[in-house]
Amino acid sequence: MTGGWSDLVGSSMVTVPRAVFVVALACLVAAAGGRPSAALAVGDVPPVYPNVLVFVSDDQSRRTVTRGVMPTVYRMMVAGGRTYPRFTVTDPLCCPSRASIMTGRFNHNNRVLSNDTRTPLNIDLRSTIQCYLHDAGYATALYGKFLNHFPLSFDQPCLSDYAINRGQRHSEVDVSVNGTIVRPAGWVDEFDLDRASRFLDRGERRDRRPWYLYFSDSYPHSPYVPRPEHANDVIAPPPGTVGPAVGEADVTDKPIFVQQNGGPMRTNQTIENELRMLRTVDEHFAALIARLRADGELHDTLIVYISDNGYLFGEHDLWGKSTPYSEAINVPFMLRWPGHVPAGTVARRNAQNIDIAPTIVHAAGISPELRHPYDGRSLLRRWSRPTIFTESFHPRWEASPARWQPSWRSIRTEGYQYVEWRQGTLITREYYDLRSDPHQLVNLLGNGTHADDPQHLRALHALVVDYAHCAGRACR
């Protein structure tokens, strides 16, 4: 960070002190319908307008951020930040989860219910974190996977620069660069990294205003193709990534559609290949950190690391995501903000991806006029969430063999998880005692028709229904 903040006025470059810029930004925020917020949770300090880096990996299993697998992410985000081991996503599927990250809302509210996002109106892009920050004077950028099937020709509002793709592949991918469709040679992540580096260079060269950078890596999503330099790496799965649920011999207590879709893995879709791919994710993260350090911006940057969803590698005899089980909904999540988030700490609260946008708005010191109320809360404030709610939508379940499961809703506490599978009406349900059965091996409701305590089940059902229709403060 240089001593002054540069700004381009007309065709002339002028340099203004940082304090003057802070006042100017406050005026800009007010004009945009917001205002500088009250002091942050740590100390009575004025708003500092930090830079914000949100780094999103794709389909990353929980407990894979270790010194051996991801040394840079571990050093910067675990040892240097705060870890949230109970962090869950609202819907363990790419697009719904990413929509919750950007909007701070459950998917029944932001209306991104699947990966089919061909219609831009499915999501109110003006309600995203990038728009609130852009309106408050931030330079904003997004590189990498956006939403599957989203029309690349659609102009992205509120982004100073972007290069977005639909994911699904790691090379030979169409990319929208500020509305122009290109197909870069080689690995798409390297193209995205180059764009991100240019964005940061421009910010440092002008050093005129804070920035927001959302970087979405295509790894370790399938196809499971580790880079040549890591293809033969020998990496032992970290503790907790492979548990008793892998290859579960008896799944007759699970719903019939779970039983019918289990079976042996048929591709190179193995936890070992995921770990090899995560070595590359770590290198991408390290490249951005090196750029921030070289530019003197690392101390002034709030960094968020998250995976959009987890992945089952044989747990309950399943391979994939979009299920209510721990391996799918529980994801790696860390925060780093020197001077505000104590390094090397662990938060045991039940945080979710709907909390990311409110946290960033809070850290930025702005209070925008929200187009829709946040369902989540700032992680920089004190609060507790005894019960977490997750949901998944499969409206065309019976119409396609590829959609092998119906929709589901789930509530989860430290002691139990209750799941309702439904297609219009209730089909079946599951209940797990997480204290005695943390790996969810025994569904205490069996086939979903037996109930020893109907009054308790009615109360659980009523709670699920309340969450399924909640919005704003009612979700908290």
Largest alpha-carbon pair distance within the chain?
Answer: 76
Q: What is the 3-state secondary structure (H, E, C) of the chain?
A: CCCEEEEEECCEEEEEEHHHHHHHHHHHHHHCCCCECCCCCCCCCCCCCCEEEEEEECCCCCCCCCCCCCHHHHHHHHCCCEECCCCECCCCCHHHHHHHHHHCCCHHHHCCCCCCCCCHHHCCHHHCHHHHHHHCCCEEEEEEECCCCCCCCCCCCCCCEEEEECCCCCECCCEEECCEEECCCCEHHHHHHHHHHHHHHHHHHHCCCCEEEEEECCCCCCCCCCCHHHCCCCCCCCCCCCCCCECCCCCCCCCHHHHHCCCCCCCCCCHHHHHHHHHHHHHHHHHHHHHHHHCCCHHHEEEEEEECCCCEECECCCEECCCCCHHHHECCEEEECCCCCCCCEECCCCCEHHHHHHHHHHHHCECCCCCCCCCCCCCCCCCCCCCEEEEECCCCHHHCCCCCCCEEEEEECCCEEEEEEEECEEEEEEEEECCCCCCCCCCCCCCCCCCCCHHHHHHHHHHHHHHHCCCHHHHC
Residue 263's pLDDT is what? 77
Residues of the chain with pLDDT under 70: 1-48, 117-121, 205-207, 266, 399-402, 447-452
Can you tell me the distance from the alpha carbon of 476 to that of 461, in angstroms, rounded to the nearest whole number? 18
Q: What's the CA gap between 429 and 431, in Å, rounded?
A: 7
The alpha carbon of 359 is separated from its chain's Cα centroid by a whole number of angstroms, namely: 13
- Report the CATH architecture of 20-386: 3-Layer(aba) Sandwich (3.40)
How do residues 63-118 score in pLDDT, each as one tens digit? 999 999 999 999 999 999 999 999 999 999 999 999 999 999 999 999 999 887 66
pTM for this predicted structure: 0.89
pLDDT of residue 448: 52
- List phi, psi (to 5°) of 302: -80, 125
* Domain range list for the chain: 20-386, 391-475
Specify the fold of 391-475.
Arylsulfatase, C-terminal domain (3.30.1120)
Buried b (16+ CB within 10 A) or exposed e, 88-118: bbbbbbbbbbbbbbbbbbbbbbbbbbbbebe
Q: Which two tokens stand for residue 146?
A: 């956006």
